[in-house]
Structure formats: structure tokens, C-alpha cells
Amino acid sequence: MFTQGAFVIVLNENQQILLVKRKDVPLWDLPGGRVDPEETAEEAAVREVLEETGYSAALSAKIGVYQRPKFQDEQHVFAGHITGGQAIANGMETAGLKWFSPQRLPLFMVPNRKRQIKDFVNGALDTTITLKDRGMVAAIDLLKRRLGK
């Protein structure tokens, strides 16, 4: 059975993307997380943006579903914008927030996020993509999943 995740590419008026610095691993990520039982991916995406950033968000499009068979994981990626709220500097899962130009993303990001952002910039809508995870961060992620952490 696949786990389900929901993530949002939140844009501001300058067409910058909001990223969160994770507390569990020192990487930048899109706001998002696991879809809870009895919750749609859209509901989870909006909830996760609020929990991780302090901002209320509205979704404007579904970029796609990114399947990671090696990890038994499926990630729903949406585009959205802020409708209210106030930024939190330090949350339960978030060590920081920052706006980035899509052309100047940070070096240390969660695997596949740059791909998802590139797809968004190139106009992808409601696509389904199977990802081939490689590299050290992907190996660490797989080990954590197998150990149940």
C-alpha cells in the first residue's frame, strides 16, 4: 500500500516559491506532508501549508502525482497562493521559511522537489510521473522508512 503525500508550490506576487527548512533533516522542502485517513490530497495540502508556514492557502491547480515505487509513496503536488495568515519563523516541523526564485533554488533540497518545481514552471498540469530515486539522500530516506522512523 502506498503512502500519500500532498505538497504545494506556493507563489507570491513576485513569482517566488515559498520553501520551508525542515527540522528533521537540514533540507529545504515544499510545504506539505502526509495525507491523513479520511482526508483528500487537496485538504491535506491546505492543512500542511497552514501547519508548516502559518499561512492559509488556496489551491489553483494540480501539477501532478509523483509516484516513488521504491518507497511505496505517492506525492500529489499542487500550485497555490496565500490567502491570509502570518508566517511562523519556527514551528513544530519547520526551522525556517524563505521565498526563492524558481531559477535560484537552494542547493540542499529534498529529492525530486527541483523536478516538481521545473514541471510547474514548464506548465505541467495533472500529470502522473514515476520517479527513479537515486543518490545518498534517497538512500537515507529509504533506510528511515524501513526502520520505521
Residue appearing with cell numbers 524563505: 98
65-99: burial string, b at 16+ Cβ within 10 Å, e else: bbbbeebebbbbbbbbbbeeeeebeebeebeebee
Q: Which CATH number fits domain 1-146: 1.10.287.70, 3.40.50.720, 3.60.70.12, 3.90.79.10?
A: 3.90.79.10
pTM flag (> 0.85): yes
Domain ranges in the chain? 1-146
Please check the confidence at residue 119 and state whether its pLDDT lies above 80: yes
Q: Rounded distance, CA 85 to CA 31, Å?
A: 15
> For strand 94-100 and strand 17-22, is the pairing parallel, antiparallel, or unpaired?
antiparallel
Of the pLDDT bands very low, low, confident and very high (cuts 50, 70, 90), residue 17 is very high
